[in-house]
Amino acid sequence: MICEESFRAVVREIGQQVEVWRDGVLLGTGYAYLEPVFDREDQFQPTDLGLRRRETQICYGQAALPLDPAPGETLVKAGGDTYRVISSHAVKEGPYRIFWRVCLEWREEDEA
């Protein structure tokens, strides 16, 4: 499909390689473009121990990435950071998936 091929070429040029994990199992790798979202809410949230970083990203990922909503915790690892998948939506043209639009939240490595 032409649209998917065009998206794949663009995301390989401006994006980065990512890994998709679900419940500790590597499901796949591919390319995605991550864009920070600063205007929606505070980037730091109060906790019992002080402030915690809350970084939200919008991710545009290749159609082949296994980002479909499924039970379990889905993580995206990109550039040394780990993000928890909050929601995912397949962008389609007719019956064909062109790319994924995913909302991610930064996750500290020591979070269980």
Chain segment 27-72, per-residue pLDDT in tens:
999 999 999 887 655 566 666 777 666 778 899 999 999 998 888 8
Integer Rg of the chain from CA = 15
Alpha helix (H) ranges present in the chain? 2-14
Query: Residue 28: how many CA atoms within 13 Å on its side-chain side?
Result: 11
Q: Please, how many CA atoms are within 13 Å of residue 76, restricted to the half-sphere of its CB?
A: 34
Structure tokens given for 43: 């980037």
Say if residue 93's pLDDT is above 80: yes
**Average pLDDT of the chain, as a whole number:** 85
Identify which of 36, 38, 34, 37 has the alpha carbon closest to the alpha carbon of residue 11: 34
Task: Determine contact, residues 106/44, Cβ cutoff 8 Å.
Answer: no
Average pLDDT of span 87-106: 92
